Amino acid sequence: MATTTIKSSKQATLPVGSIILWIILLIGVWAAIVRYSQGLGSTNLADSRPWGLWIAFDVMAGVALAAGGFTLAAIVYIFRMKRFYPLIRPTLLTAYLGYLLAAGSILFDLGRPDRFYHPFFYWNHHSVMFEIAWSVILYLSILTVENSQLVLEKFRLHALLRIVRKITIPVVIAGIIISTAHQSSLGGLFVLVPNQTHPLWYTPILPVLFYISAISVGLAMVIVESTLSAKAFDRPVESHLLSEIGSWLPTMLGLYLLVNLGNLAVSGKLGFIFEGSLASFMYLAEIIIGVVAPLILLSFASIRNDSARLFQSALLVVFGVIFNRFNVLVWGQNGAFYVPNWVEFAVTAGLISLGTLLYIFAVKNLPVYTDHTPEPEQISEEAPLPAAG
Amino acid sequence: MAVNRRDFLKLAGAGVGSLVLAAGHTEPAAAESTPEEARRHPSMLYDTTLCVGCRACQNACRNWNETTAELNSEGMYDMPTDLSGSTWTIIKLYEEETAEDADAPGIFSFIKRNCMHCLDPACVSACTVGAMQKSPEGPVIYDVNRCFGCRYCMVACPYKVPRYQWGTTTPLVQKCTFCFGYVQPEGVVDDKNRLAQGLGPSCVEACPTGALSWGPREEMLEKAHTRIKSAPGKYYEDRVYGEHEAGGTLQLVLSHVPFTKLGLPTLDPRPLPSLTDPLNWSVPGIILGVGGLMSAIYVNRSQAEFKTKED
């Protein structure tokens, strides 16, 4: 049985990694103590730079990277491409942890974390942030339902499991709707600041760009995360599935490039690309490394069919979107020079370690990898199905 | 002191406070006001040609609002260089160096910075929890009990006015209130609310040169345009900053140097919230559109599955 292989292998590969993760987590806990005892003054955030690493990376990039959850759910459950079923559980679990960590980092970034629940009681329907706050809370609930199968199966709570499986389709569709709303709205936040955002990144269609890039990076993250966990848990890589996902990426990246450059051309801003400023350099780096390079690389079947090179190409997409969020949020905004300080870095690193440790714990204890035959009573419309068209 | 609504209306009827129509600003705040509605809203005109940079306004603001003094590294009182969580208004100096002689006095101008009190404020639109509010009386005010510190208002403000109390574990966003105080519970008037007491803002009262004027917006605009007409070419572009910027502001500026030199950005007349309002209104469309599309694809695909199974 596959589960036994996992058990025997993880003892060989994980301890050193786990110890490092625990150390990073403990440093993060120390940074958290500093932040909560001294306030936000313990960071490099300032009046001229109200948002920094935590919002740019933990929230903006983190939520985009977790977009694989709703994208793959759409592919498997709505588009009925059931051959991707083996990837759905690890992807939904990663998405869940990603959103939990993004929500967790908001508790660090909010000036008054003790009032985190205020959006429930005080509404401002004009605010894009209000919409995002509600969307993230709702999508976290959706991910809780979707991931509850892992726990329900583990403890053989079949009555509840049957209910969860019955409502799978509506839940998945709700997740797609909510994700579409907030992935795009994260870009919408900056539609409000035309005068502070560099023209290379300011556009009224920023929500569209954020949405397309979220889907691209969500798919790329499925490749990255599946390859990494295959290595960590000494499992075979689902290479034919990953290379098929890789074959969709050039289309998504091409669409992104087309909308991005087309929009700059239509608004007469192409000249900014070559103005030779730091911003133009950042823009070029982001587009060439994060979009053009993987677009070309993944157009070759020989690269897509080579696990290592597929992984590296997907990593470029991930890098590109993280870079893009930093550009829009930090370097593309007017304001003082900003580099995060150790508290900000340590909290971020600590949260990533925590997520990784939780993932390892879940894989060890829950049926995340479903290459075992499902028990008869578990088979329903949405239960694991063998590879089929 | 607490002034209830009836007392306040009496007061308001008597003095300059007649500018302000009601005092308890906990009513669901107006999200924006049109220039038409803002004609009677209290407004401040600042004229750079009359300002001598004495900073009396700055100290009057600190005294009235009891913001903490800024101390230097030796623990002594020091002049702040920018707006901050404890400096709600500031006088800055712009000076152009003449090319021939660096010591010769060049063209210079003071500029008083404080909240512009937009007619349709970006910060109010941005605020997740509705802590930033456009009071029906005009000033943009803040509910200390609502704010949870996301700081989107600071990102959103085109004038970079809202500032944060970075040094505390229970921070607030801080900015000029036009001496209207914070948002208070129903029927309570902030004792910092000078308007409710029939007074203008403390900075206007302190100004010894007449660089600051105070009154209904239409009167301030009239005054500004009269000054421009009486001395054509004296004021930059012969126009009033704040008349149309991002939909207009209650703070108006007359300047003899370009506004951008004074840190006042060039803004379209279009109110900023009008850029993001369509986004939130598109949510029902996303629900119907994406939901409908996904349901259709699901039905279509599962029927195809069913057929292949039957065949």
Q: Give residue-wise pLDDT tens across range A203-246.
A: 999 999 999 999 999 999 999 999 998 888 888 888 899 999 99
| Cα A214 to Cα A321: distance, rounded to the nearest angstrom | 8
A44 is written with which tokens? 């490099």
Alpha carbons B23 and B32: distance in angstroms, whole number: 18
Mean pLDDT across the stretch A377-381? 43
The percent of residues above 70 in pLDDT, for chain A, comes to: 92
Residue ranges with strand state E in chain B: 42-47, 90-95, 108-113, 132-134, 140-142, 163-164, 173-174, 212-216, 251-254
CATH code that applies to domain B5-271: 3.30.70.20
Rounded to the nearest 10°, the torsion over CA A166, A170, A175, A180 is 160
Domain extent, residue A270, equals 12-368
Contacts of A46 in chain B (CB under 8 A): 166
Model pLDDT, residue B107: 86
What are the chain B neighbours of A194 within 8 Å (beta carbons)? 268, 272, 275
What's the domain count of chain A?
Answer: 1
- Do residues B99 and B270 touch, judged by C-beta distance below 8 A? no
Q: Which single residue is written with the structure tokens 């109200």? A: A50
Which among A1, A14, A15, A33 has a CA at the least distance from the CA of A346? A33
Residue B79: CB atoms within 10 A of its CB come to 11
Helix (H) or strand (E) holding A21: helix A2-38
Per-residue pLDDT tens over the stretch A72-124: 999 999 999 988 988 999 999 999 999 999 999 999 999 999 999 999 999 99
> What pLDDT is recorded for position A7?
45
Q: Which residues contact B276 (CB under 8 A, 6 or more apart)?
A: A126, A128, A188, A191, A192, B125
What are the structural domain ranges in chain B? 5-271, 280-310
Q: How many CA atoms lie within 13 A of B75 on its CB side?
A: 0
CB nearest to A78's CB, from B154, B276, B298: B298
- What pLDDT is attached to residue A375? 41
What is the least distance, in Å, from the CA of A213 to any CA of chain B?
18
Q: What confidence score (pLDDT) does residue B82 get?
A: 93
Distance of alpha carbon B172 from alpha carbon B233, whole angstroms: 43
Alpha-carbon span B311 to B308, nearest angstrom: 5
Q: Is the pLDDT of residue A378 over 70?
A: no
Residue % of chain A over a pLDDT of 90:
74
A385 has pLDDT over 80: no
* Predicted local distance difference test score (pLDDT) of residue A335: 80
Determine the pLDDT at residue A13.
52
β-pair type (B212-216, B132-134): unpaired
CB of B124 within 8 Å of any CB in chain A? yes
* Nearest one of A272, A327, A320 to A295, comparing CA atoms: A320
- Whether residue A362 is contained in a domain is answered as yes
Residue A62 sits at the vertex; the CA angle it makes with A61 and A68, to the nearest 5 degrees, is: 100
For B94-131, what is each residue's pLDDT tens digit? Answer: 988 766 666 666 789 999 999 999 999 999 999 999 99
Which residues, 6 or more positions from B69, have their beta carbon under 8 angstroms from its beta carbon? B62, B77, B86
Instruction: Name the closest residue on chain B to residue A123, using Cα atoms.
Output: B129
Whether B30 has a pLDDT exceeding 80, the answer reads no
Q: What is the pLDDT of residues B265-285, one digit of tens each?
A: 999 999 999 999 888 888 889
pLDDT band for B20, please (50, 70, 90 cuts).
Answer: very low
Q: Do A111 and B156 touch (CB under 8 A)?
A: no
Report the side by side order of strands in the sheet with B42-47.
Answer: B212-216, B42-47, B251-254
Is A80 close to B298, i.e. CB distance below 8 A? yes
pLDDT at A379: 40
Amino acid making up residue B4:
N
pLDDT score of B1 more than 50: no
Q: Report the percent of chain B where pLDDT is more than 70.
A: 87
Give the C-alpha separation, B94 to B304, whole Å: 72
Tokens found for residue A16: 């050193």
Q: Which residues of A touch B160 (CB under 8 A)?
A: 47-48
What pLDDT does B10 receive? Answer: 43
The pLDDT assigned to B103 comes to 66
Q: Which of B130, B151, B158 sits opposite A124 (nearest CB)?
A: B130
**pLDDT bracket for residue A275 (50, 70, 90):** confident
Pairwise pLDDT comparison (A382 vs B51), residue with the higher score? B51
Whether the pLDDT of residue B207 is over 80: the answer is yes
How far is the C-alpha of A385 from the C-alpha of B302, rounded, in Å?
14
Decide: A142 and A179 in contact? Cβ < 8 Å: no
Q: Please report whether residue A28 resides in a domain.
A: yes
Q: Which of A6-10, A223-227, B24-28 has the largest mean confidence?
A: A223-227
Separation between Cα atoms, residue A176 and residue B123, nearest integer Å: 30
Please state, rounded to an integer, the average pLDDT across all residues of chain B: 86
Q: Give me the residue from A48, A74, A111 closest to B294, CB to CB.
A: A74
Contact criterion met (CB < 8 Å) for B286 and A180: yes
- CATH number of the domain where residue A202 is located: 1.20.1630.10
Q: Pull the structure tokens for residue A300.
A: 């070759």
User: What pLDDT does A388 receive?
Assistant: 33
pLDDT for A371 equals 58
Mark residue B219 as left, alpha or beta (left: phi above 0; alpha: psi -120 to 50; beta: remaining).
alpha
B280 touches chain A (CB under 8 A): yes
Instruction: Give the number of C-alpha atoms closer than 13 A to the C-alpha of residue A160, restricted to the C-beta side.
Output: 13
Q: What is the DSSP code (8-state) at residue B244? A: S
Backbone angles phi, psi at B99, to 5 degrees: -65, -40
**What ipTM describes this predicted complex?**
0.88
Query: What integer pLDDT is reported at residue B133 of this predicted model?
Result: 94
Q: Is the pLDDT of residue A253 over 50?
A: yes
The answer, yes or no, to whether residue B15 has pLDDT greater than 50, is: no
pLDDT at A214: 96
Which pTM does this prediction carry?
0.88
pLDDT tens, B126-184?
999 999 999 989 999 999 999 999 999 999 999 999 999 999 999 999 999 999 988 88
